[in-house]
């Protein structure tokens, strides 16, 4: 596994170094594509210069604030990636600066080639390796863990029955299930006539009492 990874990395380093050395542009391929897109978007934009490093760029129905000294644009693209955005390109052209020189060094061809200057040395096969006469590696000592050792379970169940294939497995007894019946509603017993008369009499006396109290209060006042 490690030998496969080593051989692939060795070939990849050489392939990428040769591919970049054939390019004539000072920038990497993807960075050059992004920069060309920003240059095309900058066409037709107008600007107002404050006399120092500040610019007010108008385009696409909006305006943006650009600070050339701080590499800052209000759209956020310049400070996010380091590649001049369309608004910054308008300002750089006015100041007479080369746009490629304003791109960070990490995006340039020279930095890419420096990354792949190292190389991996070739190796021979395992049959040509030198034998080591030192101490041979030994497996680690087995340590008995604490606790009760596990025992193998004896017996079997219905699934692991050895006689199941011969048609002499466990007999399955099906138990008939009974559904529980819902309890029947209990009807309330009707009240006895004597009890009903007693309740009516008590309510009548309470009514007469309230009438008597109201009359007494009326004549007293």
Tokens 């650009």 correspond to what residue? Answer: 66
- Where in the chain are the domains? 29-108
| Rounded Cα–Cα distance for residues 37 and 203 (Å) | 98
Q: Is the pLDDT of residue 220 over 70?
A: no
What tens digit of pLDDT does each residue of 86-110 get? 999 999 999 999 999 999 999 999 9
| Rounded Cα–Cα distance for residues 107 and 29 (Å) | 9
| Rounded Cα–Cα distance for residues 100 and 113 (Å) | 18
∠ CA 44-48-51, rounded to 5°: 140
- What's the confidence (pLDDT) of residue 192? 56
Whether the CB-CB separation of 35 and 103 falls below 8 Å is answered with: yes
What tens digit of pLDDT does each residue of 63-94 get? 999 998 899 999 999 999 999 999 999 999 99
Is the pTM for the entire model greater than 0.85? no
């Amino acid at each position: 596994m490690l030998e496969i990874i080593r051989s692939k990395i060795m070939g990849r380093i050489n392939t990428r170094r040769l591919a970049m050395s054939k390019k004539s542009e000072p920038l990497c391929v993807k960075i050059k594509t992004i920069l060309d897109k920003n240059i095309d978007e900058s066409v037709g934009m107008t600007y107002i210069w404050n006399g120092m490093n500040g610019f007010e760029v108008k385009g696409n129905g909006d305006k943006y604030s650009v600070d050339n000294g701080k590499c800052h644009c209000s759209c956020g693209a310049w400070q996010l990636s380091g590649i001049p955005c369309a608004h910054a390109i308008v300002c750089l052209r006015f100041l007479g600066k080369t746009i490629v020189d304003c791109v960070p060094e990490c995006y340039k061809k020279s930095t890419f080639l420096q990354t792949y200057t190292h190389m991996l040395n070739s190796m021979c096969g395992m049959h040509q390796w030198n034998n080591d006469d030192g101490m041979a590696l030994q497996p680690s000592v087995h340590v008995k863990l604490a606790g009760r050792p596990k025992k193998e379970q004896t017996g079997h169940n219905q699934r692991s029955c050895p006689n199941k294939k011969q048609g002499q497995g466990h007999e399955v007894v099906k138990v008939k299930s009974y559904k529980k019946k819902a309890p029947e509603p209990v009807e309330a017993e009707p009240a006895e006539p004597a009890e009903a008369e007693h309740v009516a009499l008590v309510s009548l006396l309470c009514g007469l009492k309230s009438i008597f109290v109201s009359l007494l209060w009326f004549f007293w006042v």
